[in-house]
A and B are shown apart, each in its own frame.
Chain A
Amino acid sequence: MKALLELSNVGMKFDTPKGTFEALKDVNLKIDAGEFVSLIGHSGCGKSTVLNIVAGLLQATDGGVILDKQEVTEPGPERAVVFQNHSLLPWLTSFENVELAVKQVFKKTKSKAEIRDWVEHNLELVHMAHAMHKKPDEISGGMKQRVGIARALAMQPQVLLMDEPFGALDALTRAHLQDSLMEIHAQLGTTVIMITHDVDEAVLLSDRIVMMTNGPSATIGEILDVNVPRPRDRLALADDPTFVRCRQQVLQFLYEKQRKVEPLPKRESVKAEADRKRA
């Protein structure tokens, strides 16, 4: 069987004031339909760049992306994106936010009533039916992210792209959303690429974990198959040997093989800063 999505020799060079910066080099990846793939790596290594190239929001400078036998050249609803900070239109209610997407994608194929039902159905899927008519300002961060997911799912994408979707949420809310996402993935069989920097999240949700090396010229370092049967339960998994081994391997990759040394601020400058603030 041929892969649904294929990245071949994808490279990305940015023009910066200090010259060309090669963010990505030779990224090769094949993803099958229905797979849940996580991208993990240190911050700044190029995960978002990969995702944006798949989304069509960025054009790769080398290589290319093929989705379902067609080259990706521009953004489109068949590659729906869930952004890190929800990106809901603040002047529309949850319902209207999802409706905007549904109308745009299905205006030719669905009647008015069908559109309304489809919007409501997707909001129910993410457990947001109770706050359908609230605006983003009136709901919590986790709820906004749920609406963002509903909006993306409602487009019936071939691939769902998520850029650190739960990064800004507290641990408890994040756990709830992870469970919802697993439930939805099991129910719909959507193909998902998710960026995360949370090792547990990656192992819990993914079929495969794609680990990226540090930039510049970042590429795929290792790919790990997570052979843990579904449905997965976060409590039972805590001491499942496969789960623990996978977790170990990702941690090893991140903190031994790709150890990232963040320069600490110098003592003097910290002190000077404090003095300046006091003055």
Chain B
Amino acid sequence: MVTLTFPTWMEPYRALATGKMTGDQWQALLRQLIWPVMGIAIFLLLWQLAAQRIDTSLGQFPGPVDVWEQAGSLVDEHQASRAKEVAFHERQEKYIAARLQQQPEWEPVYRDYTGAPTFFDQIGTSLITVMSGFLLASLIAIPLGIVIGLSSTAYAAMNPLIQLFKPVSPLAWLPLVTMVVSAVYVTDDPMVAKSFLTSMFTVSLCCLWPTLMNTSVGVTSVSQDLVNVSKVLRLNALSHVRKIVLPSALPMMFTGLRLSLGIAWMVLIAAEMLAQNPGLGKFVWDEFQNGSSQSLGRIMVAVIVIGLIGFLLDRLMLMLQRALVWDKSSVQR
């Protein structure tokens, strides 16, 4: 006979299906499913009611149904654009093949499709930018945090600067970063777009602080007992950092990384919007400028998608943290 085992969170549903619910399972069902669904339903209702009463210069504020329709049309536009792109490439292939037949010595020139980016292209751009910015920030913040945590001299030297730059808004950095990138990054054959670099550096500058602070605190709070163990074993400086300091600081480091990624995502949208850099922020800005009757609905789709992606990024970090960190109690929800 085969016995099926269910994950514990599925227990209430199985019990519901078999008609044997205990009090605790009702509680679990309420907590996991009913209350969240109710919360969302009430929110949608209030939204609909409020939307009907708000008239803007672009028409009535979109309710849930309008937003759902706009989401559908964004998907359609994306598919249409992809179809065009495929058609473009087919045509190009055919043209080149035909010309090569007549002129075998001709060097074929391949062109990229240059249609306007769709909503989904913008999501992709934003994700790549935020990840690059976050990675760059981590590559700077983690080693620097370790140095600051290990050396009180380095801490004394850096602390005023950290305190000064930590609260700076991305909007203040942006013009400077833009100008510096334009001045420094001059090549004929750019590997990446300038706008990408501007957004990425702005994101890095704003999101490296939590990782830096948490790493350095994690490093300073290594238990004295473990430091003594390291001394008795005569671990050299490198082994001491690798075997004792880094693992000790890892839980704090991850807490910092998670905060940083959250900030990175928020900053990115603002930076893209302000600097007209490709990405979700630009999508919002373009729709706002465009000012058609559907714009508000489309912006609302973007708002929800931005929220969802932020949430998913956080879950991703949480999963990574759970997998890598030894101190499970340090992993909060």
Chain B residues near A75: list those with CB within 8 A: 228, 231-232, 234
- B229 and A89 within 8 A (CB): yes
Give residues of chain A (16-75) contacting chain B, Cβ–Cβ below 8 Å: 55-57, 74-75
Q: Does B266 contact A (CB under 8 A)?
A: no
Q: Does B188 contact A (CB under 8 A)?
A: no
Q: A89-B244, A89-B247, A90-B326 are in contact. Are A76 and B225 (CB under 8 A)?
A: no
- B327 and A90 within 8 A (CB): yes
Stretch binding the partner chain, chosen from A79-87, A123-131, A245-253? A79-87
Q: Which partner residue on chain B sits nearest A86 by CB separation?
A: B225
Q: A83-B225, A87-B226, A90-B327 are in contact. Are A100 and B232 (CB under 8 A)?
A: no
Q: Does B235 contact A (CB under 8 A)?
A: yes
| A87 interface neighbour in B225, B239, B326, Cβ under 8 Å | B225
Alpha-carbon separation in the docked complex, A249 to B228 (Å): 35
What are 20 contact pairs spanning A and B, CB under 8 A? A55-B232, A57-B228, A74-B234, A75-B228, A76-B234, A80-B232, A81-B232, A83-B228, A83-B229, A87-B226, A87-B228, A89-B226, A89-B244, A89-B247, A91-B326, A91-B327, A100-B233, A100-B243, A104-B235, A104-B239
Q: Which partner residue on chain A sits nearest B246 by CB separation?
A: A91
Residues 219-262 of chain B, each 1 if its beta carbon lies under 8 Å from chain A, else 0: 00001011011011111000100011001001000000000000
Q: Does A223 contact B (CB under 8 A)?
A: no
Alpha-carbon separation in the docked complex, A101 to B232 (Å): 9
- A85 and B326 within 8 A (CB): no
- The number of chain A residues with a CB under 8 A from chain B is 22
Residues 74-117 of chain B, each 1 if its beta carbon lies under 8 Å from chain A, else 0: 00000000000000000000000000000000000000000000
Q: A89-B247, A90-B327, A100-B243 are in contact. Are A79 and B225 (CB under 8 A)?
A: no
Alpha-carbon separation in the docked complex, A155 to B233 (Å): 9
Q: Nearest 8 pairs between A and B by C-beta?
A: A91-B326, A87-B225, A75-B231, A104-B233, A91-B247, A75-B232, A87-B229, A81-B232
Measured as residues with beta carbon below 8 angstroms from the partner, the interface class of chain B is: 10 to 19
Alpha-carbon separation in the docked complex, A43 to B223 (Å): 22
Alpha-carbon separation in the docked complex, A87 to B229 (Å): 7
Alpha-carbon separation in the docked complex, A55 to B105 (Å): 83
A81 CB, nearest partner CB in chain B, Å:
5
- B243 and A57 within 8 A (CB): no
Chain A residues near B247: list those with CB within 8 A: 89, 91
Alpha-carbon separation in the docked complex, A79 to B228 (Å): 12
Q: Does A11 contact B (CB under 8 A)?
A: no
Additional A-B contacts beyond A76-B232, A104-B235 (17; CB < 8 A): A56-B231, A75-B231, A77-B233, A79-B232, A83-B225, A83-B228, A83-B229, A85-B225, A87-B223, A87-B225, A87-B226, A87-B228, A89-B229, A89-B244, A89-B247, A91-B247, A100-B233
B234 CB, nearest partner CB in chain A, Å:
6
B232 CB, nearest partner CB in chain A, Å:
5
- A104 and B228 within 8 A (CB): no
A102 CB, nearest partner CB in chain B, Å:
10
B112 CB, nearest partner CB in chain A, Å:
49
Give residues of chain A (131-145) contacting chain B, Cβ–Cβ below 8 Å: 135
- A101 and B233 within 8 A (CB): yes
Alpha-carbon separation in the docked complex, A91 to B229 (Å): 14
Alpha-carbon separation in the docked complex, A91 to B225 (Å): 15
Q: Which partner residue on chain A sits nearest B328 by CB separation?
A: A137
| B234 interface neighbour in A55, A87, A104, A135, Cβ under 8 Å | A104
Chain B residues near A105: list those with CB within 8 A: 233
Q: Which partner residue on chain B sits nearest A89 by CB separation?
A: B226
Chain A residues near B226: list those with CB within 8 A: 87, 89
Give residues of chain A (165-201) contacting chain B, Cβ–Cβ below 8 Å: none
